[in-house]
A and B are shown apart, each in its own frame.
Chain A
Amino acid sequence: MSFHLFPGFIGLSAAMFGIGAVGVLARRNPLVVFMSIELMLNAANLALVTYGRFTHTMDGQVFAIVVITVAASEVVVGLALITGVFRRGRRLDLDDLAELRE
């Protein structure tokens, strides 16, 4: 793989991260927020793997696997929460969760 692809990969990663961040901030549907978080995580993964590839180490790959593991567990917990909230109110809106404050 030649070096001139490097900015492309990192740029794609940055773009994915940005789109994900905007999604997290702007959307009220927790499912979409979740997808955005996944997008950010995978942007990070892409960056990790890219750096690992271009520095000739396997640390990036290893770290990406750790991130995937964390993401999987996070989805399990998060989806369970969303299901619980949905069962209570029959509505999916993050702002409804403000009542958890008390």
Chain B
Amino acid sequence: MTIGTGFATALAAVVLGLPLLGFLAISLVGGRLPRRLVRWLGPGVVLLAFVGVCVLLAATLMRPAADRSVTVVLWQWLQVGVRHWHGVAGTKGFSADFSVTLDPLALVMAAIITGVGGIIHVYSVGYMAADQGFNRFFAYMNLFVTSMLVLVLSANLVFLVIGWSMVAFTSYALIAFWHDRPAAVAAGRKAYITQVIGDLALVLAAFLIFTNLRGPSGRLLHTVSLPAIFANVGPGAHFHDGLGPTGGALVTLIGILLFIGAAAKSAQWPLHTWLPDAMEGPTPVSALIHAATMVTAGVYLVVRFHPVYQQAPIAAGAVAVVGIGTAWMAGVIGCTQYDIKRVIAYSTMSQIGLMIFAAGIGAYSAAIFHLLTHAFFKALLFLAAGNVIHALHDDQDVRVMGGLRRRMRLTYPAFLVGSLALAGIPIFAGWFSKEELLGSGLVLGPITPWLWVIGLSLNVLTSFYIFRVVWLAFHGTPRSPRAETAREAPRVMTAPVLVLAGLATVAGFLEVNFAGWRPINLFAAFLQPVVGAAHAHPQAAADLTALVVGTLLSLFGIGLATMVYRMGLIPADLVSRRAPWLYRLSLHKFYWDQIYDLGLTRPTLALARVLTRVVEPNIFDGAVRGVRDAVGALSQDFRSFQTGYFRGYATVFFAFAAIALLVLGLRLT
């Protein structure tokens, strides 16, 4: 059975429309809606949209691999100068349709957004139960899901940019959700300003593509349709003049601009400082935005634009290096933070760095597969951490926790599963995806074996910092009265956590083809129509040596954390005593906030002070005062013309207009 295009169009509209409907209903009717209804409506629309995405996924799977990428037009949005003579559209002009890509990549992203998003919505019902802004929260969350869906489903540059910016705005609204906390408002502002830098870069890249892309005949295309763009950037096209082995300057510039956009969304260096601060938002927001969806949009963008990066090896190399560098830096920082959510945030930054690295070296399906499993186990870690924070009455410091294992009998195993998946322990989802991702480093590209070694060493850091949290928060003895009396969260909060724990355990097997010849390739085969065969099957994924070394390094990291924080065999202050510079570097997050403060904020403020104190009062105000005096002197004689009666003025105006027209008409005839 195959599903026709008409049905797919309708279903795509429903998937996009449901969360939007939820947002409109909750925000427009607002406070008059009873909480009981919002409690069902908020998560309900997202879960229904998830059902729609599942149907679309199934329909895609039933099609033969060659025609799994379907683009449907939902409506024709903008048409300028497109002439329809006798019903035939001309070739000139410009049109932008709201068209939707239903290909494996977009649908996997949509499934994560609505599926994990739906679970997090359910969790929020419990987490936000006592909050004043319950309805507002669900309105924002639904709008966020809508924005993400527009972003990933759009087959059109214009709507991609619109979705991109809507995501930025809704994330701002959600981070600064508790608008009476100055720290939350500052964090939201910081996130939004960073996002706008990325938006700007993305828009510039879109303009460059729009103005320069040429079709096979050498004619400028002036198109915003993504399929048309990707069909024409390949080798042999006229997109990049002076194409050498390193690609043209133009296509490299486009690649780098796109990556600046991606880096802002995905919290990659140097636009990464907003993510840890964004932990000021409610914990479900952290799980939805800063683990499962928004921060992965950058990875999606790079993978979606892979035809561009394949023409621009320099840009792709920059992407890979920045990704692995950020992954390492965030890993180091994660080892010394005390805020449980910040540790997980840095862990997210680090894992996204790995995905960006994979996308940079061309291991696209590995990147998306890690994105999928990461969405499960990282949302799980955030939600489990949310349970802990809830139990401790909003205290996030691991130093006041301890011994929670006995008090939170459901949250503890869930957090443990998430940590094992993150650390990359066999059977758990993270193991499959991370080892495949790192293994691809061995085969793709000339310098990537070195990057692979860096990535492998990251395994130690990852398992170390997450098990540091496990031992500190859940084991040992309670270190505060709050930890002694902590109670397990209500069922509406533990159930989503347990569902995610199940997913984080089994999702890795999505990649395993039990019936196939090559064992690790099922998910990659699914993505193959989008990313191409060569990039879907990195052979080294099954490389046994890489697998064993990676797993052993992860186990080593766990062992190290156990020896330091559980058994006390190694003193915890070893590094801070022996290498205080390293400890301080990590504790102060590599001083990036201070660097930006000194390098950007303070010079800007100083400049503004000079402008307000010197330039504004003397030069601008002086000029205005001069004009005022001059006009005042001149206008004394003309005052009597001013009667103040509007209709008098209008009559004179119309009369002169009529006279002018008359004169013009007489001269023409």
Cβ contact within 8 Å between B650 and A98: no
Q: Is the CB of B81 within 8 A of A101?
A: no
- Chain B contact residue count (CB 8 A cutoff): 13
Question: Whole-angstrom distance between the alpha carbons of A26 and B651 in the complex?
Answer: 10
Interfacial chain B residues near A33, Cβ < 8 Å: 646
* CB <8 Å contact, B81 and A61: yes
Distance in Å: Cβ of B57 to nearest Cβ of chain A: 40
Other-chain contact of B93, A58, A94, A97, A100 (Cβ < 8 Å) = A58
A98 touches B93 (CB 8 A): no
Cα A94 to Cα B645 in complex, Å, equals 7
Give the CA-CA distance A16 to B80 in the complex, in Å: 26
**Is B245 among interface residues, defined by CB-CB distance under 8 A?**
no
In the assembled complex, how far is the CB of residue A17 from the closest CB belonging to chain B, in whole angstroms? 11
In Å, the complex CA distance between A28 and B647 comes to 8
Give the docked Cα–Cα distance between A9 and B650 (Å).
26
Distance to closest chain B CB from A58 (angstroms): 4
Q: Does B643 contact A (CB under 8 A)?
A: yes
Q: Which of A25, A56, A62, A100 contacts B647 (CB 8 A)?
A: A25
Q: Is A21 an interface residue (CB 8 A)?
A: yes
A24 to B646, CA, bound (A): 9
User: Which residues of A lie under 8 Å from residue B93 when comparing CB positions?
Assistant: 58
In the complex, the chain A residue whose C-beta lies closest to that of B82 is: A58
CA distance A55 to B480 in the complex (A): 81
B545 at the interface (CB under 8 A from A): no
Pair B654/A98 contact, Cβ less than 8 Å: no
Q: Tell me whether B80 and A98 are in contact (CB under 8 A).
A: no
B642 within 8 A of A: yes
- Digit string of A81-102 for contact with B (CB within 8 Å is 1, else 0)? 0000000000000110111110
- B644 CB–A CB distance under 8 Å: yes
B55-90 contact mask (Cβ, 8 Å, vs A): 1 or 0: 000000000000000000000000011010000000
Tell which of B81, B643, B647, B651 touches A94, judged by Cβ atoms closer than 8 Å: B647
Is B644 within 8 A of A101, CB to CB? yes
Taking A24-B650, A25-B650, A58-B93 as contacts, is the C-beta distance between A98 and B643 under 8 angstroms? Answer: yes
1/0 contact trace for A19-61 toward B, CB 8 Å? 0010011101000010000000000000000000000101001
The CA of A28 and the CA of B646, in the complex, are separated in Å by 9
CB-CB under 8 A from A98, the residues of chain B are: 643-645
Separation of A25 and B650 alpha carbons in the complex (Å): 6
Q: How far does the Cβ of B332 sit from chain A's closest Cβ, in whole Å?
A: 52
Whether A61 lies near B645 (C-beta < 8 A) is no
* Interface contact A58-B646, CB-CB below 8 Å: no
Name which residue of chain B comes closest to A24, CB basis: B650
Tell me the residues in window 631-669 of chain B with beta carbons closer than 8 Å to chain A beta carbons: 642-647, 650-651, 654
Shortest beta-carbon distance from A47 to chain B in Å: 14
CA gap between A100 and B643 in the complex, in Å? 10
On whether the beta carbons of A25 and B645 are closer than 8 Å, the reply is: no
State A58–B82 Cα separation when bound (angstroms): 9
Chain A to chain B contacts (Cβ below 8 Å), 18 pairs: A21-B654, A25-B647, A25-B650, A25-B651, A25-B654, A26-B647, A28-B647, A33-B646, A58-B81, A61-B80, A61-B81, A94-B645, A94-B646, A95-B645, A95-B646, A98-B643, A98-B644, A101-B643
Q: Which residues of B contact A (CB under 8 A)?
A: 80-81, 83, 93, 642-647, 650-651, 654
Residue ranges of A at the interface with B (Cβ–Cβ < 8 Å) = 21, 24-26, 28, 33, 56, 58, 61-62, 94-95, 97-101
- In the complex, the 7 A-B pairs of residues with the closest C-beta atoms, listed nearest first: A98-B644, A101-B644, A58-B81, A94-B646, A98-B645, A24-B650, A101-B642
